[in-house]
Structure 1
């Protein structure tokens, strides 16, 4: 009895067992290539880090919060005893701001801050051995002629648009170790750059 099927339906058709497997997944020797997992995520994280370290606006990697771009903040008030606002023009402050953020590296930025801090030794140090108080610190900025000009803390922080916490972290490292490092230790274990605190100048009052 004839059937409605064509004779070709009864032919043995070879089955392609590689169906759905792209040849792009194998190298020339036939070995399966290893997937480069997380490359895109790593690039995004590094890009956000670059934006943060150069003072640009960015979105945080974990909480997706938008961080504003850094910019020069208003100088200290007219009541400042150092009269910092008279020592630097807006253009000079902008140049200092750009010099700091153009470093683009947290280690170099911390080193920049440390080089512009001067520990002030009082005539009588009344701190107890277990005291957590820091020594008084003087803040400085470079003038166009290469000299350093002392400024108040508010003027220093506002010119660079950084927080007091940043400065206190550096103060702590300078005081608590004979050799302090400003390396960003998050996520890495590379060789640290050491700066001897003994090489930093001291002032007396």
Structure 2
């Protein structure tokens, strides 16, 4: 199978930025209480359904994977960048980290009790997003939970707007349109958070969608 160009471009960019990226997020989510609250709610829903394997998709250097582990989840991380995975493995050798793509996850159908894609859909071209959403649904068990986070925009007439990301071309998404796409794919929305930006560097809102596979 021929790999889409955007995967090669994104992988190469994050391999180059991996060490710096890990430094920038060394303190985890200490400065993001609302983000932590949504991740905590995601973990609580997974536990309430009996638990099971959880995947942090686009895990980067593993800082949020580590948080999910601290919340008692049976979590592993997957990332497109081999350099990111090498850093994650060195930092947390007790956790499992694998190289992989959200476009074709090396996971069995219905394997996961939960999946998190935190800012990992932002480099996905709009025409590829439906296939990624379908892949999320494929790997989740019935009743499994999905948490998706991304930079957002507030124009519901447009699915996405591109922006100048430091690492690679990225997209801001309409929360309404992404939620509708996931609903069409076979998810039910349970909650959402749209928070204001915390800095003036990129004054974008940020969205978190929490959903369940129906």
* TM-score, L = length of structure 1: 0.26
Which structure has the bigger radius of gyration?
1
TM-score normalized by structure 2?
0.26
Greater share of strand: 2
